Amino acid sequence: MALTPERPALDTPAGPERSLVGGDPSAVTTPIVVANGLWSADDPAAYGGGPAGLENAHLAEIERSGAAYRDDARWGALDVIPTKADYLLDLIRMNSLWPLLSGLACCAFEMMSSATSKNDIDRWGMFPFRASPRQADVLIVAGTLTTKMAGPLLRLWEQMPEPKWSVAMGDCTCSGGRYKRSYATIQGIDRIMPVDVYVPGCPPRPEGLIYGMMKLQQLVKARRGQWDERRVGPSVPEGI
């Protein structure tokens, strides 16, 4: 059937910018590079006029102020008992991690699969996923974090009791993934909150998540008794 002028062939080059033959091949192979930095809105008028009233960028301000740097992992009689008691408590915490139900996108299916009878994440000392942030100490962010969802996610993170840890699961969570440079996607959750373990993949298999949780157990053991040195704000390496 002959094509009319109103319906041109889709594979017909309409110009140098649409043609891969005879055009600039480097434009196709040029990597996408986004400098690391804290999250900020593209539109200065969005979210109440900038970072001052932003609900998903306040952890950086809290960390700079130093108001949150206090030992929240000790309570009651532990204030007078020697700090060696913290080492024993951290060993208990290491073998009883309670993740929070916080699936955001397709990575959540792999996170759910890690708790099935085939993978059985419970055998490694990681208890079934909790439905309340007040009963969890590990936030597994599984999937794409949009700008609109960043506020509710940080609210869950702040409602979790100390000590707590964060795991970034999947490429979109770690660095934006296939939505890199999208105006609606956070280019890595470490731009708005601290991250302890990164689990790359699109999506990572349940075995990858279990391995990442085992690495988190090693971190808990290595950092025992050092809660006053933890990161409160974003852990993104700025200036890269």
pLDDT value at residue 14: 46
How high is the pLDDT of residue 115? 85
| More reliable by pLDDT, 168 or 77 | 168
Confirm if 195 and 166 have CB atoms less than 8 A apart.
yes
CATH among 3.60.21.10, 3.20.20.140, 3.40.50.12280, 3.40.50.1820 for 51-227: 3.40.50.12280
Residue 26 is predicted with a pLDDT of 61
Strands (E), the chain: 99-100, 138-142, 165-169, 197-199
Q: Does the pLDDT of residue 137 top 80, yes or no?
A: yes
The model's pTM: 0.75
pLDDT for residue 214 is more than 60: yes
Q: Mean pLDDT score of the chain, rounded to an integer?
A: 77
The answer to whether 151 touches 193, Cβ cutoff 8 Å, is no
How many other CB atoms sit within 10 Å of the CB of residue 163? 19
- What are 167's two structure tokens? 């795991």
Domain spans of the chain, in order of start = 51-227
With left for phi above 0 and alpha for psi between -120 and 50, is residue 67 left, alpha or beta?
Answer: alpha
Residue 28 pLDDT level (bands cut at 50, 70, 90)? low
CB distance 135 to 96 below 8 Å:
no
Query: What would the mean pLDDT of 173-180 be, rounded to a whole number?
Result: 86
- Reading phi first (left if > 0) and then psi (alpha if -120 to 50, else beta), residue 87 is in alpha
Rg of the chain, C-alpha, whole Å: 22
- pLDDT tens for 100-127 read 878 888 888 888 888 888 888 888 888 7
pLDDT reading at 134 higher than 70: yes
Least confident of 24-38, 152-166, 193-207: 24-38
**39 against 2, higher pLDDT:** 39
Predicted pLDDT at 236: 80
Q: For the segment 192-201, what is each residue's pLDDT rounded down to a tens digit?
A: 899 999 999 9
What's the rounded mean pLDDT across residues 4-31? 51
Strand order in the sheet with 197-199: 99-100, 138-142, 165-169, 197-199
Flag whether pLDDT at 48 surpasses 70.
no
Report pLDDT digits (tens) over 215-235. Answer: 998 888 887 766 667 788 888
